[in-house]
Copies of this chain bind each other. A is one copy, B any other.
Amino acid sequence: MADLVTIDDPDDPRLHDYTGLTDVELRRRREPAEGLFIAEGEKVIRRAGEAGYAMRSMLLSAKWVDTMRDIIDEAPAPVYVVDPALAERVTGYHVHRGALASMARKPLPTAAALLTRARRVVVMESVNDHTNIGAIFRSAAALGMDAVLLSPDCADPLYRRSVKVSMGAVFSVPYARLDVWPAGLSTVREAGFTLLALTPDERAESLDAVAPHRMDRAALMLGAEGSGLSRRALEASDTWVRIPMSHGVDSLNVGAAAAVAFYAVTAGRPTAP
C-alpha cells in the first residue's frame, strides 16, 4: 500500500506537479518539459496504470480515501491527502472527480516504428484543440485505427482535457509526432500507406466510392475544425476523399467527420449486394 501523506501547506513542494492546473498555457509548456501529465478520476488513473505509465504521486481529499481505496492500495507512489479547499487553491479548481494523479510520460515511438505494425493510421494536421484531439482518439480507438501521427503543431494528447475527453483512449492507441511537415508524410508513403486527405472539396472522391476499407494500408489525414487540411498537406496526399453531404450542409464537426471516416476505412466492409 502507498504512503498516505496528509499535507496542509499549499506551498509544500510535493504538490508542485498539481499547481495551476487551470492555466492552460502554463501547463502546456510545463508538463512535457517536466515529463509528466495529469490523470483525473478513478477510471482514467486506472487506465493510465494499465497502459504502463508510472505514477509519480496522487492527490485526493480525505472523503475520497474510502472510495478510492483499491487504487490507493495499488498506487506505487505517495498519495497526498488534502483538504478540498487546499486542493482548489493549489490546482485552481474544484476537484470533483475524487483524485488526481501525476503520471510520468514515456518516450514517444518514432513514426517509422509505429508504421511497421499498423495498417490503419490517422494523421492529424494542426488539431490544436484539446477536446477535439481527445474526441478523435476516442473514436480512433473504438473504430479500430491502429495508430495516430501528429503534425508538429497538434495539441498534446496527454493534456488533462484531452485525456478526459478521450476516456483514456490516448493511452491505448499508440501515437508519434512527425518532426517535419508535410515532408514527414514521405515516411508514411514509404511504409506502403496510401495517403487519403479528408476534405469537403467538391473535387474529392466520395469515401464510399474510394472504398478505403479494401486498401492494404490506409493513412487518413484530418485537418483542424474550420480550416481543414492546408494546401500543402492536400498536395502531399495521394487521394482526396470527402464524406457525401446533403441538405446544403457544408461540413460535419471534426469529431463526427473523423468517426465516419474511421468507420469507412475499417468496419464498413462490403457485403454481397
- Cβ 8 A contact of A263, one of B135, B253, B264: B264
Which B residues touch A214, using CB under 8 A?
273
- Assess whether A271 is interfacial by the CB under 8 Å rule: yes
The oligomer's copy count stands at 2
Which B residues touch A208, using CB under 8 A?
267-269, 271
- Assess whether A144 is interfacial by the CB under 8 Å rule: yes
Which B residues touch A269, using CB under 8 A?
208
Nearest CB in chain B to that of A258: its residue:
B256
Nearest CB in chain B to that of A245: its residue:
B142
A113-163 CB contacts (< 8 Å) to partner B:
135, 138-139, 141-144
Contact with B along A227-264 (1 / 0, CB 8 A): 00000000000000001111111011101111110011
- Cβ 8 A contact of A139, one of B144, B244, B252, B270: B252
The answer to whether B144 touches A252 (Cβ under 8 A) is no
- Assess whether A112 is interfacial by the CB under 8 Å rule: no
- Cβ 8 A contact of A247, one of B135, B169, B267: B169
Which B residues touch A138, using CB under 8 A?
249, 252-253, 256
Which B residues touch A249, using CB under 8 A?
138, 141-142, 167, 169, 172
Nearest CB in chain B to that of A140: its residue:
B247
- Assess whether A211 is interfacial by the CB under 8 Å rule: yes
Alpha-carbon separation in the docked complex, A139 to B251 (Å):
9
Nearest CB in chain B to that of A248: its residue:
B172
Minimum CB–CB distance from A246 to chain B (whole Å) comes to: 4
The answer to whether B243 touches A263 (Cβ under 8 A) is yes
- Assess whether A77 is interfacial by the CB under 8 Å rule: no
- Assess whether A173 is interfacial by the CB under 8 Å rule: yes
Alpha-carbon separation in the docked complex, A267 to B264 (Å):
10
Minimum CB–CB distance from A218 to chain B (whole Å) comes to: 15
A-B complex: 6 closest residue pairs judged by Cβ atoms: A144-B246, A256-B259, A142-B249, A141-B247, A244-B267, A260-B263
Show 18 residue pairs from A and B whose CB-CB distance is below 8 angstroms, ordered by the A residue.
A135-B253, A135-B256, A138-B249, A138-B252, A139-B252, A142-B245, A142-B246, A143-B244, A143-B252, A144-B245, A169-B247, A172-B249, A208-B271, A243-B263, A246-B266, A260-B263, A263-B264, A268-B268
